[in-house]
């Protein structure tokens, strides 16, 4: 297994491969089905990358903030927003060790394929809850348990997917209610052994108490 550290800044320019575009389309489609977007909403997309999810929401809400630890990803994100003339989009660079990583408040927080890169999931859930407005929603897509076979390089990967029941308990402990899971996408991906495997990606939605 490749143990070299991934450089997401360098990967940003070639990030949007066909499999990632399809996955983002499937996840965004699932989010659109589960969420009611309104023109007065302020949205945070945590781990926005190049904006594959966030920029799909921008035409339907008041504002979208894309947050990421990679300056390279955010540069692509900002350039795409400018090209699309989306003047309600802004970005936020996150430090890897920030105690308070975002401000808010927001009506909705979205995230796709980022949570497994976050070491302290309980802490991030509490931060999400804090910056949401009363009654605000959260929608997170990530991998079901996968045994460490999804990434060719597991540097920076703290969770090999998630058990839905255990993750639901984390949401409850943070204060969320109305927690609901669905399978948002399936991704066929070859491993280092050349064997194709199918990975399930769930979407969990929840609500802050009004």
- Residues 149-187 pLDDT 10s: 898 888 889 999 999 999 999 999 999 999 999 999 999
Give the integer Cα–Cα distance in Å for 120 and 173: 14
pLDDT at 156: 86
pLDDT at 57: 97
- Who contacts 146 (Cβ-Cβ below 8 Å, separation ≥6)? 160, 161, 199
pLDDT at 101: 57
pLDDT at 3: 40
Tell which CATH architecture fits domain 8-207. 3-Layer(aba) Sandwich (3.40)
Domain coordinates of the chain in residue numbers? Answer: 8-207
**Residue 4 — pLDDT band, cuts 50, 70, 90?**
very low
pLDDT at 141: 98
Task: Please report the beta strands in the chain, taking only residues with DSSP state E, as ranges in sequence order.
Answer: 42-46, 63-68, 89-93, 106-112, 132-143, 177-190, 196-207
């Amino acid at each position: 297994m490749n143990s070299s550290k991934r450089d997401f800044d360098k990967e940003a320019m070639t990030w949007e491969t066909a499999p990632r575009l399809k996955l983002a389309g499937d996840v965004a489609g699932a989010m659109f089905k589960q969420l009611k977007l309104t023109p007065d909403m302020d949205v945070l997309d945590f781990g926005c990358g190049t904006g594959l999810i966030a920029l799909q929401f921008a035409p339907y809400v008041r504002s979208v903030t894309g947050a990421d630890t990679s300056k390279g990803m955010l540069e692509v994100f900002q350039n795409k927003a400018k090209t699309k003339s989306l003047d309600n989009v802004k970005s936020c660079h996150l430090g890897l060790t920030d105690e308070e990583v975002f401000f808010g408040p927001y009506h909705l927080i979205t995230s796709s394929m980022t949570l497994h890169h976050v070491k302290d999931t309980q802490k991030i859930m509490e931060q999400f809850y804090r910056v949401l407005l009363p009654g605000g929603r959260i929608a997170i897509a990530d991998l079901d348990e996968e045994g460490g076979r999804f990434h060719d390089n597991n540097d920076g990967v703290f969770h090999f997917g998630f058990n839905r029941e255990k993750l639901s308990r984390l949401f409850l402990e943070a204060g969320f209610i109305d927690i609901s899971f669905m399978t948002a996408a399936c991704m066929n991906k070859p491993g280092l052994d050349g064997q194709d495997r199918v990975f399930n990606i769930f979407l969990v939605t929840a609500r802050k108490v009004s």
